[in-house]
Every structure is written in structure tokens, then in C-alpha cells.
Structure 1
Amino acid sequence: MSQMLALAIVILILFIGDFVAVRTKAWVPSIFICAILFLLGYWTFFPKEIVAEAGIPSVVATALMYLLVVNMGTLLSLQELKRQWRTVLIALSGIVGAIILLLSFGTLLFGMKTVIVAIPPLVGGLVSALIMSEGATEAGLATLSVFAIVVYVMQGFVGYPLTSIMLKREGKRLLQLNRDGKLAVKEVAAATEVTEKPRPKLFNKIPEKYNTNYFKFFKVALVGYLAYLVSTMLDPVVSISPFVLCLLFGVIATNIGFLETRILEKANGFGFAMLGLMLYILDGLKNATPTMMMDILFVLIGSIALGVIGMYILSFIVGRFLKSSKEMSFAVSLTALYGFPADYIITNEVIESLTDDEQEKEVLTSHMLPPMLVGGFVTVTIVSVVLAGVLVGFL
């Protein structure tokens, strides 16, 4: 398959996903449709490396991930991170709930080693799935090695629609409060204050004509490199994902005036970066063959169901104690099933579907997007990798 044909096909799939999301007003998330189409493609005529052939090999996707995570950091102020301590607790409670149900009922149904392999990829991302897959291979558990990857591949099929439903309900509740004048104006302004600064203060004296797109890209890449460098330096002492540091450094760089908010969008690079990252995520479906799915279907469905039920129960309890709605609490805990960029995409799709008023969109964004982003990073990027590092020793 030629490069341009491969590129045209995968972009067409992304467009179809967007089209369905618009037509259904985000009840069917675009990433869910894209995942189904990619899966069908891999089972029929797609070459296994269609994403790489289209021009997005893993090294390119990794570079785009660095840029996007730094850009995410520009969306959150330090004050916002302090305000999100409740989100962190709710996200953690969702993971704890999943672990409790899986280690209790899951162990009785599927066995201890199956549950141990399932937990990290279920509440995390690719890194934790790879850790458990390699650990299972080294322990001589070939089937469980495949199971770890398939859990990671399939978990979003439950998480995407459930999150969309929860966020729609939460969005409608917030809109009603806003229209009734019961949503504090100061709260909204404070949450979005960081997005109102047009220029980073460290570069105020530089003429705007020199603040080119390439200069913006350079600053983002520099922050990403610093995150990578610090992660490498700390590795002998403690293993910290460079993407965790990208988010942190993005927040710091924005608050000291080194980066603009939404800098990739201002550099006209956000859309392409998201395209590349989306394709990289969907590329993971190439390993889920029909035979694999049939062999582990019951265990797969049972593990995901128990995990989601556990997330709902404990996040509901903790969310109620912290005065968060059950919809928002559950949505935050569900970010463990997919993380970034799906949390960003689904939240924005829901907001776009609920209102055409720009002021109302700003209100919804300020209340819904920060907790979803924080929840995704707490679960997928940090906690799941730690869990995988601990649990792989029990195989």
C-alpha cells in the first residue's frame, strides 16, 4: 500500500468518527467509532503497519506526545491544580474500587494471576500493559501475556460511551445552574483566568513579528526536552515517566511566563499533533486478532465489568463525601480506562453538543475539562505504572 493511500484511509476513518459524533451529538464518541473501524480494517485488508506506512511511526508519535502533554500543562494553572485535589482523591478512589472488586470476586472467578495481569492495563495505559505483558511472558504465561494487551486495547470500548453519558448529564446540570444564575461567576472566571493572558510575560519586550510558529514550537520542544532530561537523571533513584514531568513543566513554564496558554493551537500545530497521536493509539488494535478475542472473551468482559462497577461504587461514595456529583465523579474515575487524549476529545465533543453559546461553552469547559485532564493523568500516567511495577513481581 502506498504511503498516501494509507494516509488517506486512516484520515478518512478519523473523519467518519467525527461525523458520527456530530450526528449523534457525542452520544457515540468519535474515538469509539474509529476504534471499531480500525479493528475491522486489521481483520480484513489493512497491513499491520498501516499507521507507520502512512507516515506516523512510533518515533514521530512519541515526539508529538511530548509536545501535546506540554501543551496540556499550559491549560492548567498552579491554582487550578490546587483546586483539583478533590479530583485526585476521586480518581484514586475509582482505581481502589476496581482493585477491591477484582481481587475479591475477580480472583474467585478467574484466578489470582489473571486478575494481577488485568489490573494495571485496565486502570492505565500502554506502558502498564507492556510491563504486565512482558512479565507474563517471562513467567511462562503466554495467554496472559496476550490478555494484558487485549485488556488495554478493549477497555475504552466501555469507557468511551459511559463517559460521554456521564458528562452529558453533568453538562446539562451545570448549564441549568448557569442559566438560573446559581453558578458563581467568580468561580468560572478563576478557573479560566490562565487562558486570558495573550503573551507570556518573559517575552513581552520581543516584537510580535519574531514570535513565529517555529519559535513557539521551539519553546514547547525545549520544555519537553527538559522533562525528558530530568526523568533520565532521576531514573537511577526513582522511575518517573517523562510525560508526567512534561505536564508539570508545562504548568510551571506557563505560570512563570515562558509559554503561552494553548501554545500549540497558536502555532497552528495542535490539529496535526492530535491526528498523529490518535493514529498511534488506534495502531494498538493491530494485535487484537479474532482468535485472541474469542479465547479470552469471557475473562475480558468479566474483568472490565468488575473494574467499572468497582470504580462507580467507590467514586460515588468518595465523590458524595467531597460534594461532587455522581456523574462527574464516575466520569473522572473512568479516565483510567483511556487517559489522554480521549479524555480531552470526549469532553470537548460533549461540550460542543450541549450548547452553541460561547459563554456557556466556556463555563462548561472551566468546570469539566480540568478535572477530566487531571483524572486522566493521575490514573493512566502515574498510578497504573506504579501498580504494574508492584504487581508484576507477583507473577
Structure 2
Amino acid sequence: MSTGGAAEPLLGSGSEAPMNPVLAFVVVMAVWTVSDLVAKKTKSLLSSLFVASMIFLVGFLTGIFPEDLLQASSLLALAGVVVGFIIVHLGTMISLDDFIKQWKTFLVGVATVLGIGIMLYVAALLFGGRISGAAEDGYAQALDFVIAGTGSLSGGAISVLIIQEAALGVGLTSIAIFPVLIAALQGLIGFPLTSIILKREANRLKGEYRAGNLVVPEEATEDGGEPRTILPPALRTTAGTLLVVGIAVLVSLGINNLTNGTLNTFVVALVLGVALRTLGVFKPSVLGGIDSLGLMMIAIMILVFGPLATIQPSDVTELALPLLLAFTFGLVGIAGFSALVGKTLGYSVPMSVAIGLTSLYGFPGTMILSQEAARGAGETPEEVAAIEGQILPKMIVAGFSTVTITSVVITSIIAGRIGG
């Protein structure tokens, strides 16, 4: 019998009792099943990530989903363990030659981050008076929003944490909240835009393939024989594969710790994946075919939706104008600078802009959206493989060049100016 008070989540049992783990797991799988179905029915026009993001956002805002849904499902905990495994796997999907060839992609990614900062500075010059008060009264200044917006729009969790630490250090709570809201909302914008643009690029590449200008990647044409690896059969099983990939992740963590984060764990893991494939230690797509890959992939996708659980309507309304300006001018910076630099380097405009948009979400969106675009355009397994072989390496390297490398470096440099 109810005793009054705030409404409890429809799937929960109140704040004192955590959600049933099995129920939470089933709910998350139901959301992902629906999202995947919508993506397939719309041929990736509505990406599974976008559909799932909308379902989770509405669910959390309306109280249908309890705030601890994702934690209770145990998938967030699993994701924290296996994300490095998936990044090593991604490295083994890219040959060393392909990795080296992506220097143009890296430059487009760097230009994108710079474009975001420049356009947000322009926004501050035009609208700064409306989003800031007097510094002596403890109000955030327009430049503070520029710095926070640049770091969060172009980066992931590390950039957000850098901004938050700097903002809280000078007592600017609004600036500490700002990047969290951007992180929670940017996928809702980045996923559908990238999906539409990549679909155009995939259709263009399909025409190139049918004209004989594209070939199917080598590993996609193998005849199903023994995988190309020097590992003994005992280390090719599900457990054995997870063991050796786990060792590679531990090495990446060790290098990260030895360099105090200068060499980021995930960057090292990606490079190790490429190197170990090249040396013949790992087969191409090292986790492909093992029993646990599907669950691991779903788990890391849940990382994308984590910030949505804590977002409040009041947070959005209080910072609505800065958020609108950040996304509007940020997208102009992304599209303009990535298209200009990409076109100069010989990329198509859609591919260039898609590379730039990776700054809004990074991995795993870079992989999922690439695969969905290829499956949506390709009509045969060979076409899908050829299209994916062109898009996926660019998108993976783009995500790391924007979110993991350039954004962290630039954010670390400019964060100290918050509150200055």
C-alpha cells in the first residue's frame, strides 16, 4: 500500500532496494533487440545506437527505468573488463599497411578538434554576454564554456574528467555539469547524422565495387581453413583466445601506468592488436568465432548509455542556451573543417564529415555504425566486406585520433584557463 511521495520506477522497487539483476539484464536485452530490429528494418537509416539511446533516455527521464538499471544488469561491470579486449580485436581487423595508410584520417581528426574549438570561440564572441555573468561574482565566463565545450564535444570520459577537475577546482559547478550533459546528449546527435552520411558513402562505395575499383579484403576471401596464427590449438579455443588477448590488455595497462597515462591504454591496445596480427601471433579479427564475442560487444555498447541514467530535465533547461550553441557551432566546425581538410587529402566529403563526427561518440559507435552502413548498402557478402573494408579502418582510426589522442592533449592544455 502506497504511503505517498515520489513515484517509484516502474521496473524498480524504490531507491533502497536495487533492481533485480536478472530483470535488469532482460530489460537491457529487450531494448537492444528492438533497436537492432529497427536498424535492420530501416536499413540503418535509424541506427541501433540511436534507437537504443532514445529508449534509454525516455525511460530514465520518465522513471520507467530505475537509475541503477544498467549497473544492476552487470553489463557495465563486464564492459569495464572487456573494452580493452575489443580494442585489441579491432587492431587485428586492420592490417599494418591499412593502419599506416590512415595518416590522412588522423589529420582530418586533428582538424576536426581544432574546428570545434574555433567555432565555439566564435559563438562566445557572438553570444558570450547571454551565457555568462560577472567573474567577480563567481559566474562562469563565456571562455569557460568554450573550453568545456571543446573538451567534451571532441573527447570522451577522460576529457570530461579533466574539465570537471579544473572547473570544481575554481568552484564553477555549472562548468563541471556542462560536459556531462554534452556527453549524455552528443550521441543522440552524432549517431543519426553519422548513420545518414555513412549510408551515402556506402552507396558510393557499392558503385565503386561494381565498377571493379574495389576489392574484398584478404581475410574475407579465405576458404575457411586453419586461421593464420602461430598460436597452438590450445590457445585458439574461447578460453585460450581470451587468455592471450587478456595478456595483451594487461601489457597495455602496464605501459599506461609506466608512462602515467601519456601512452593511453586503449591506444596501446589498438597498436598491439595491429602489431600482433602483423607478426602472425593473432589471426585477423582475433575474437571472431569465439562463443563470448556477442555478449562482450553488447556489454561495451552499454557504456554509451551510462550517462543517460543520471541526466535530469532541470539540468538541461538551466544550461539550454550554452548546450544549443555548443552543438550548433560545434557541428559547423566539425563539418566545415573535416570536409575542407578531407577533400584536400583526397577523401570524399561524406567520408570526411563522418570522420569528423566520430568526435561526438568514438568507440564503439565507430565500429557499429560502419558495420551497419556496410550491411545496409551491400547486397552480397562480398559487397558488404568490400564496403566495410573501406569505411571501418578510417572510422576506427578517426575515433582514436579525435576522442582518445587529440582531444585529451588539447583539453589538458586549455583546461587550466577555466576560471582564469
TM score, norm. by length of structure 1: 0.93
Give the ranges of 4+ consecutive aligned residues of structure 1 lying more than 3 Å apart after TM superposition.
188-198
**Matched residue, 1:130:** 161
Other structure's SS at 1:364 match? helix
Change (3 A) 1:345 1:231: same
Deviations 1:299-326 (A, max 9, x none): 1121011111111111111122111100
Does 1:212 pair with 2:240? no
**Matched residue, 2:138:** none
**Matched residue, 2:256:** 231
The code of the aligned residue for 1:21 comes to A
Other structure's SS at 2:251 match? helix
> Aligned equivalents of 1:62 and 1:341: distance in 2?
13
Deviations 1:150-180 (A, max 9, x none): 0111111111111111111111111112222
Does 1:11 pair with 2:11? no
Residue from 287, 290, 312 that aligns with 1:289? 312
Residue from 90, 95, 107 that aligns with 1:89? 107
Residue from 275, 294, 305 that aligns with 1:252? 275
Change (3 A) 1:383 1:317: same
CA contact (8 A) 1:191 1:366 kept: no
Does 1:388 pair with 2:411? yes
> Aligned equivalents of 2:76 and 2:49: distance in 1?
20
Change (3 A) 1:197 1:80: farther
Aligned-pair CA distance for 1:3: 0.9
Matches within 5 A, 1:286-325: 286-325=309-348
Deviations 1:308-358 (A, max 9, x none): 111111111112211110000000111111011111111111111112211
> Aligned equivalents of 1:264 and 1:88: distance in 2?
26
Residue from 350, 356, 359 that aligns with 2:373? 350
- Which structure carries more helix by proportion? 1
Aligned-pair CA distance for 1:146: 0.8
263-272 vs 135-144, greater mean Cα deviation? 263-272
Residue from 18, 41, 53 that aligns with 1:23? 41
**Matched residue, 2:132:** none
Does 1:37 pair with 2:55? yes
Gaps of 5+ in 2: 1-18, 129-141
Other structure's SS at 2:75 match? coil
Gaps of 5+ in 1: none
Change (3 A) 1:194 1:373: farther
The code of the aligned residue for 1:382 comes to I
CA contact (8 A) 1:195 1:261 kept: no
The code of the aligned residue for 1:301 comes to L
Other structure's SS at 1:268 match? coil
Does 1:78 pair with 2:96? yes
Aligned-pair CA distance for 1:201: 3.7
> Aligned equivalents of 1:388 and 1:92: distance in 2?
13
Aligned-pair CA distance for 1:56: 2.5
TM score, norm. by length of structure 2: 0.87
Higher Cα Rg: structure 1 or 2? 2
Residue from 55, 65, 75 that aligns with 1:56? 75
Aligned length: 386
CA contact (8 A) 1:191 1:367 kept: no
Other structure's SS at 2:346 match? coil
Does 1:326 pair with 2:356? no
